Amino acid sequence: MDIIIELLQYLHEDIDFEEEDALLTDGILDDSDIESLISDIKDNFDVEITPDMVTPENFNSAESIWNLVSELTDGRDGE
């Protein structure tokens, strides 16, 4: 999950992504951040995240993002 936190910190270094659990619902990540994050995830993990996957359930925390990536990679270790 460390790489997800690194990618998020690149977007907003002032946020504690290990504790934050409302990235979408509180508007911490905007559309531009999401696009950048999806692109970085694709580059790092070779997975495709579709627009219907961008939900609070999948993107409200670093952990939920990591869980989505893990599901998409069938549990491959992407760290």
pLDDT confidence bin for 56, thresholds 50/70/90: very high
pLDDT confidence bin for 6, thresholds 50/70/90: very high
> Is residue 77 in some structural domain?
no
Answer for the pair 48, 73: CB distance below 8 angstroms, yes or no.
Answer: no
Domain count, the chain: 1
Exposed (0-12), middle (13-18) or buried (19+): which is 61, by Cβ within 10 Å?
buried
> Is residue 17 in some structural domain?
yes
> Is residue 66 in some structural domain?
yes
> Is residue 78 in some structural domain?
no
CATH number at residue 45: 1.10.1200.10
Confidence check: pLDDT of 79 > 90: no
> Is residue 79 in some structural domain?
no
> Is residue 55 in some structural domain?
yes
Provide the domain limits for residue 10. Answer: 2-72
